[in-house]
């Protein structure tokens, strides 16, 4: 027997199992195309030269899609080989040696991989221009990213998926190498014994879920959310698998013990059938639930970040133009003089360009880290227990009144006080050698103060800032970073050309490379970089959302097909003893409702409990409008539920056509 015989036999096998192979090949093609497009974006010369953030984002996308590809293709391949164990066992009964069967499987894997990789690359090339157009729309960059690909992108894609399909071949060969033909003939009917519900696993599932939910609900600030987010995700994933494996068994057994429900024909078939294969069903349902949660969170958060971009820019940069003045440790008096001189320079330069200053704000401040301890603020350079220290910002009263439009007056032992967590309840606070009676105020300061636990204190005059600095230097004499700095922000009115001319000159005169001691920034300059980052996040979120939705579709399809083949013999027996088609449909519908509702309901619960920690993470991107996130979340849940329902409508027909 030569290779031509084995290759023709492999082609015939693929054609005869087209109900399984076509979805497998289509999904593999889609995943390969998505991976190829992401690699093309990551290696695009324009992306690497024009943006500092996009290459990192696309690298994350490449890693996520690559890992997902390995898991997903191996997972769906396991469905294929399970359905074909009887066929492979038959080859052994007919006299083919294991090496001959291995050759057949080799050619099947070869044809599948060649077709999938070629179709995936071609699809990626065809849709590449459309994807780049979409990315350009999201990024709003002045120069569009040119659609290019490279041999490196093609080579990386071919290499990865050659390895993945090679692993599927090794897995398939291993399924019959250590099994005898008789056992393989029974491979399709490898039944799972009715599982025993484990109370310990059920309790563990609740503990893991409660732990993950608790982290989300009690997270104190956005920076802490970054540290705890992945731990919470891991705990919820573990809890989800344990809940579906153990909790679903308890529910089904409770239904089975309820005679009024269980001994109705449709319910009898559905409950007994699902309970019989509950281990496999539970893992599949958990996979769908986790993928659904990923889709909802990935898409809703990235869409929220993108939609809130303008609001974020307004919060982060309340003025169109901004200059930060860096203080001199050794000459504070000169810094104070420079603070007022710089305001005059800004006004003169703005008027020189023909623009009118409509609003201006300026203030001096000093910032340092520490902790609250028994009515005192104790200076720290780093936290001894590994937690984030508190950021304190001190501002002179004169500057605060001008900034906030207020008219406060303070005695030498009085201060205005803002605490981001509002947990400090004492009426006095000692800082260094001074003690202050506090009057609480609302946040009139930087939006970044919401990112971590922060304190703002307004003191009678700038001399108090010098006292703080002196006390800090006594405690940390080697420190060189405590200075009195200043911010100057202003808005202008004029033509677009005048604005551009002003921005260009300010960027030239007040930069790190200039001789001046100020650093200029503008909202328009930041807008380009902001949309570059947020547009990249949105693109990645939508891209991964489509990928996870595809995973949900294929897992659901193969699950329904696998269950259909497993149930076909049982339903035929039921029909022979008098069960009509209507009852078959009723039992099918009950399974659909069960399979449809459970993952999407649990996923919605997961995302609802994830809201606090996701909200904190969104604050890092400057998104503070809860309504934007809530409406986006609801819209994504409804859209995904609709897509998921359509998936089940289609797959249930496939299931019914098989069992009928």
Q: What is the pLDDT of residues 421-447, one digit of tens each?
A: 888 888 999 998 889 999 988 876 766
Asked if residue 499 is part of any domain, the answer here is no
Shared-domain flag, residues 587 and 642:
yes
Conformation bin of residue 331: beta by default, left when phi > 0, alpha when psi is -120 to 50: beta
The per-residue pLDDT for range 441-464, each reduced to its tens digit, is 887 676 666 667 889 999 999 889
Task: Let me know whether 308 and 398 are in one domain.
Answer: no
Residue 29 sits in which domain range? Answer: 1-190
Q: Residues 567-583: pLDDT tens digits?
A: 777 667 766 766 666 76
Q: Quick check: is 228 in a domain?
A: yes
433 and 386 in a common domain: yes
Residue with more model confidence, 59 or 181: 59
Q: Collect contacts of 226-229 with beta carbons under 8 A, ≥24 apart.
A: 226/617, 226/620, 228/613, 229/613, 229/617
- Check if the beta carbon of residue 640 is closer than 8 Å to that of residue 296: yes
The pair of three-digit structure tokens given for residue 391, joined into one six-digit string: 């950021």
Rounded average pLDDT over 339-365: 88
Residue the block writes with tokens 């696993």:
201
Is 502 inside a domain boundary? no
The reply to whether 100 falls in a domain is yes
Contact assessment for residue 450 and residue 294, using Cβ atoms and an 8 Å cutoff: no
Q: Which two tokens stand for residue 151?
A: 């041999």
335, 473: one domain: yes
> Which of 159, 190, 221 is the C-terminal boundary of a domain?
190
What pLDDT, on the 0 to 100 scale, is given for residue 162? 95
Could you tell me if 344 and 470 lie in one domain? yes
Query: Is 26 within the bounds of a domain?
Result: yes
The answer to the question of residue 268 being in a domain is: yes
Shared domain for 569 and 613, answered yes or no, is: yes
Domain match, 566 and 459 both:
no
Average pLDDT along the chain? 81
Question: How confident is the model over 361-369, as a mean pLDDT?
Answer: 89
Of the candidates 296, 288, 295, the one whose C-alpha atom is nearest the C-alpha of residue 556 is 288
Q: Indicate if 102 and 233 belong to the same structural domain.
A: no
**Lowest-confidence segment of 68-72, 250-254, 292-296, 373-377 by average pLDDT:** 250-254
Show the CA angle centred on residue 83, arms to residues 78 and 89, nearest 5°.
105
The answer on 525 and 484 residing in a single domain is no
Residue 433 to residue 430: CA distance in whole angstroms? 7
pLDDT of residue 458: 94
Of all helices (H) and strands (E), which one includes residue 358?
A: strand 356-373
**Do the strands 428-431 and 376-379 form a parallel or antiparallel pair, or are they unpaired?**
parallel
Same domain, 512 and 537: no
The pLDDT value recorded for residue 36 is 93
H helix count then E strand count, the chain: 22, 10
**Nearest Cα residue to 70 out of 123, 28, 121:** 28
Residues 186, 205 within the same domain = no
Last residue of a domain, one of 142, 164, 190: 190
The β-bridge relationship of strands 321-325 and 376-379 is unpaired
Among candidate residues 584, 585, 370, 551, the one with its CA nearest the CA of residue 457:
370
Same domain, 128 and 175: yes
Q: Tens of pLDDT along 631-654?
A: 888 898 888 888 888 887 887 787
180/438 Cα distance (integer angstroms) = 82
Q: Would the pLDDT of 333 be above 80?
A: no
Number of domains composing the chain? 3
Give the predicted TM-score (pTM) of the model: 0.75
Contact predicate 352/483, CB 8 Å = no
Residue 212 confidence class, pLDDT cut points 50, 70, 90 = very high
Residue 501 covered by a domain: no
Asked whether residue 500 is assigned to any structural domain, the reply reads no
Exposure b/e, 92-107, CB count within 10 A at least 16 = b? beeebebebbbbbbbb
- Mean local confidence (pLDDT), 184-195: 55
Judged by phi (left if over 0) then psi (alpha if -120 to 50, else beta), residue 375 lies in left
* 120-171 tens-digit pLDDT: 999 988 888 888 787 777 777 666 667 777 889 999 999 999 999 999 999 8
- Which of 138, 170, 190 is where one domain is finished? 190
Q: What angle do CA 71, 77, 82 make, to 5 degrees?
A: 130
Largest CA distance in the chain: 101
Instruction: Tell me what pLDDT residue 104 has.
Output: 85
Site of tokens 């790190």:
512
């Amino acid at each position: 027997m030569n290779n031509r015989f084995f290759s023709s036999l492999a082609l015939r096998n693929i054609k005869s199992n087209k109900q399984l192979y076509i979805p497998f090949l289509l999904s593999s093609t889609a995943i390969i195309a998505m991976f190829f497009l992401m690699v093309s974006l990551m290696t695009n010369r324009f992306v690497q030269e024009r943006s500092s953030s996009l290459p990192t984002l696309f690298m994350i996308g490449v890693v996520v899609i690559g890992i997902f590809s390995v898991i997903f293709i191996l997972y769906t391949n396991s469905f294929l080989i399970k359905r074909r164990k009887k066929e492979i066992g038959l080859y052994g009964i007919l006299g083919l040696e294991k090496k001959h069967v291995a050759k057949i499987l080799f050619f099947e894997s070869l044809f599948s991989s060649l077709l999938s990789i070629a179709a995936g690359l071609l699809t990626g090339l065809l849709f590449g221009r459309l994807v780049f157009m979409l990315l350009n729309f999201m990024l709003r960059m002045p120069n569009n990213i040119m659609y290019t690909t490279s041999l490196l992108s093609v080579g990386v894609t071919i290499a990865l998926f050659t390895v993945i399909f090679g692993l599927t071949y090794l897995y398939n060969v291993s399924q019959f190498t250590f099994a005898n033909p008789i056992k393989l003939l029974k491979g399709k009917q490898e039944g799972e014994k009715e599982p025993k519900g484990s109370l310990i696993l059920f309790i563990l599932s609740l503990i893991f879920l409660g732990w993950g939910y608790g982290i989300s609900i009690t997270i104190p600030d956005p920076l802490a959310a970054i540290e705890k987010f992945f731990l919470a995700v891991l705990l919820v994933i573990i809890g989800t698998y344990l809940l579906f494996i153990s909790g679903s068994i308890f529910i089904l057994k409770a239904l089975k013990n309820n005679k009024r429900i269980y001994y109705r024909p449709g319910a009898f078939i559905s409950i007994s059938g699902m309970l019989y294969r509950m281990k496999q069903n539970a893992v599949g349902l958990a996979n769908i639930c986790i993928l659904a949660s990923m889709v909802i969170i990935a898409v809703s958060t990235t869409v929220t970040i993108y939609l809130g971009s303008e609001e974020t820019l307004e919060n982060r940069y309340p003025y169109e133009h901004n200059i930060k003045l860096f203080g001199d440790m050794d000459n504070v008096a000169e810094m104070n003089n420079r603070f007022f001189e710089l305001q005059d320079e800004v006004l003169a330069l703005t008027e020189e360009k023909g623009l009118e200053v409509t609003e201006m704000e300026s203030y001096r401040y000093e910032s340092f880290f520490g902790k609250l301890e028994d009515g005192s603020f104790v200076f720290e350079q780093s936290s001894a227990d590994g937690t984030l220290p508190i950021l304190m910002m001190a501002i002179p009263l004169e500057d605060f009144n001008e900034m906030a439009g207020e008219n406060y007056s303070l005695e030498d032992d009085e201060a205005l006080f803002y605490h981001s967590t509002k947990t400090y309840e004492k009426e006095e606070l000692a800082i260094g050698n001074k003690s202050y009676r506090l009057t609480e105020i609302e946040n009139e300061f930087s939006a970044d103060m919401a990112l971590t636990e922060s304190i703002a204190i307004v003191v009678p005059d700038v001399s108090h800032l010098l006292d703080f600095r002196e006390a800090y230097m006594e405690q940390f004499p080697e420190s060189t970073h405590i200075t009195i700095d200043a911010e100057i922000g202003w808005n202008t009115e004029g033509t677009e050309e005048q604005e551009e001319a002003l921005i260009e000159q300010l960027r030239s005169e007040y930069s790190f490379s200039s001789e001046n001691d100020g650093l200029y920034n503008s909202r328009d300059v930041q807008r380009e970089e902001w949309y570059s980052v947020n547009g990249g996040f949105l693109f990645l979120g939508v891209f991964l959302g489509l990928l996870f939705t595809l995973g949900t579709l294929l897992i659901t399809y193969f699950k329904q097909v696998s269950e259909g083949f497993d149930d076909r013999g049982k339903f035929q027996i039921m029909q022979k003893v008098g069960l009509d088609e209507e009852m078959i449909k009723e039992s099918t519908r009950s399974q659909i409702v069960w399979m449809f509702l459970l993952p999407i309901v649990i996923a919605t619960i997961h995302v609802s409990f994830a809201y606090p920690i996701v909200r904190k993470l969104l604050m890092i991107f400057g998104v503070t409008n809860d309504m934007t996130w809530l409406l986006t979340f609801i819209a994504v849940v409804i859209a995904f539920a609709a897509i998921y329902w359509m998936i089940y409508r289609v797959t249930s027909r496939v299931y019914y056509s098989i069992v009928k």
